[in-house]
């Protein structure tokens, strides 16, 4: 079984609640499935769940492409795009090159709570595709090039997308 779930912001990628943060058990997901990878509490978007250990390992392998929409503080420069595309040096090593482009705001549901709007600080959107999954990697990559991440939505994992899923909703994907 493979399930696509739209993880809302401030939800954990585990079934048990922790402190004030809810886990996945609140969303009526079938029993016996586990997250194939993680998505930080303050990030939102596509989380795949499965009951198949081999499939879980395949999804979480470092070769699987993951696409994110990142709302960042500031105006995206050609130099920032070039640095992200080449790979940036983080404390835990240089990242693999990313496919990256500036984009218009994507058609994603409003975030709860909304991103704080600041009249004096512009924001922009990036689309990034990476093939590794370090802790808070996209956020750290954006910050490294001077574009702090305000909102992060994982849109795609491999061939599977968030298309048509409202926050907190899930669907089974035929294998």
Range(s) of the domain holding residue 35? 2-61+159-173
Is 145 in the same domain as 113? yes
Is 165 in the same domain as 102? no
CB atoms within 10 A of CB 115: 13
pLDDT at 67: 98
Is 106 in the same domain as 151? yes
Is 146 in the same domain as 169? no
Is 14 in the same domain as 83? no
pLDDT at 129: 97
Is 149 in the same domain as 168? no
pLDDT at 167: 97
pLDDT at 50: 97
Is 75 in the same domain as 150? yes
Which residues are CB-contacts of 20 (< 8 A; sequence separation ≥ 6)?
Answer: none
pLDDT at 120: 86
Is 164 in the same domain as 93? no
Is 70 in the same domain as 29? no
Contact 80, 147 (CB under 8 A): yes
Is 8 in the same domain as 80? no
Is 53 in the same domain as 77? no
129: which DSSP letter? E
Number of domains present in the structure of the chain: 2
Which residues are CB-contacts of 156 (< 8 A; sequence separation ≥ 6)?
Answer: 46, 65, 66, 67, 129, 162
On whether the pTM is more than 0.85, the answer is yes
Q: Give the Cα separation of 105 and 151 in Å (integer).
A: 11
pLDDT at 61: 80
Chunked into runs of 10 residues, the chain (175 residues) has average pLDDT values of: 97 94 96 93 97 91 91 96 97 96 96 86 96 93 97 97 97 93
Q: Which are the catalytic amino acids?
A: 40
If phi over 0 gives left and psi between -120 and 50 gives alpha, with beta otherwise, what is residue 123?
beta
Is 87 in the same domain as 152? yes
Q: What is the CATH number of the domain that holds 51?
A: 3.30.70.580
Report whether the peptide linkage leading into residue 113 is cis, meaning its omega lies within 30 degrees of zero. yes
Q: What is the CATH number of the domain that holds 124?
A: 3.30.70.1560
């Amino acid at each position: 079984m493979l399930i696509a779930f739209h993880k809302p912001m401030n939800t954990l990628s585990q079934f048990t609640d922790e402190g004030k943060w809810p886990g996945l058990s609140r969303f009526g997901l079938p029993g016996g499935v586990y997250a194939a990878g993680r998505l930080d509490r303050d990030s939102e978007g596509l989380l795949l769940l499965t009951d198949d250990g081999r499939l879980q390992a395949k999804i979480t392998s470092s070769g699987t492409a993951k696409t994110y929409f990142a709302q960042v503080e500031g105006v995206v420069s050609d130099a920032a795009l070039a640095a992200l595309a080449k790979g940036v040096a983080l404390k835990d090593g240089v990242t693999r090159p990313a496919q990256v482009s500036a984009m218009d705001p994507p058609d994603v549901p409003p975030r709860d709570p909304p991103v704080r709007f600041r009249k004096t600080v512009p924001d922009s959107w990036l689309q990034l595709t990476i093939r590794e999954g370090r802790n808070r990697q996209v956020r750290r990559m954006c910050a490294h090039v001077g574009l702090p991440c305000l909102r992060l939505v994982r849109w795609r994992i491999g061939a599977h997308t968030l298309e048509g899923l409202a926050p907190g909703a899930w669907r089974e994907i035929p294998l």
